[in-house]
A = this chain, B = another copy of it.
């Protein structure tokens, strides 16, 4: 059970967009170059973010993406679910219903006890991702990324941002 690589891409792209000045846009092309990713395929991930309403887009030259809300309002969970989908990692096939000892047509009282435990773990996972915003991430990156690279990247982005 491994997350799509698009999740990683989307997270890093949102990190960049989080430090983009208000009102500026950054294109798929620039984001792909910056991260060394296939432009066409990265585009699909960004479209997922757009469909989820997490980013705003404009067309034409100097078009691209910007966050639709402030970095401190955007959580890791938002991005992960936009790309990966909001479904549960554990899908209950209700195999207890195949028990030959059951009378036919027996109606279950509620969700399977096994599934409930697995779903609680899913919720713990989601909860952890919901607690971290992109404002938190940017703060961490500012503190630990080499200052020369940090500002160099910032300049690189600004030069390409419409």
What copy number does this chain have within its complex?
Answer: 2
The contact sample of 7 A-B pairs, CB cut-off 8 A, is: A3-B90, A8-B91, A9-B95, A35-B95, A99-B149, A110-B144, A122-B125
Contact B113 A132 (CB under 8 A): no
Q: Are B122 and A152 in touch, CB under 8 angstroms? A: no
CA distance A146 to B7 in the complex (A): 43
Instruction: Report the separation of the CA atoms of residues A72 and B46 in the bound assembly, to the nearest whole angstrom.
Output: 46
Interface size class of A (residues with CB under 8 A): 35 or more
User: Closest CB-CB distance, A155 to chain B, in whole Å?
Assistant: 8
Most buried by B among A99, A132, A144: A99
Q: What 1/0 flags go to A125-162 for Cβ under 8 Å of B?
A: 11111001000010011001010010011001000000
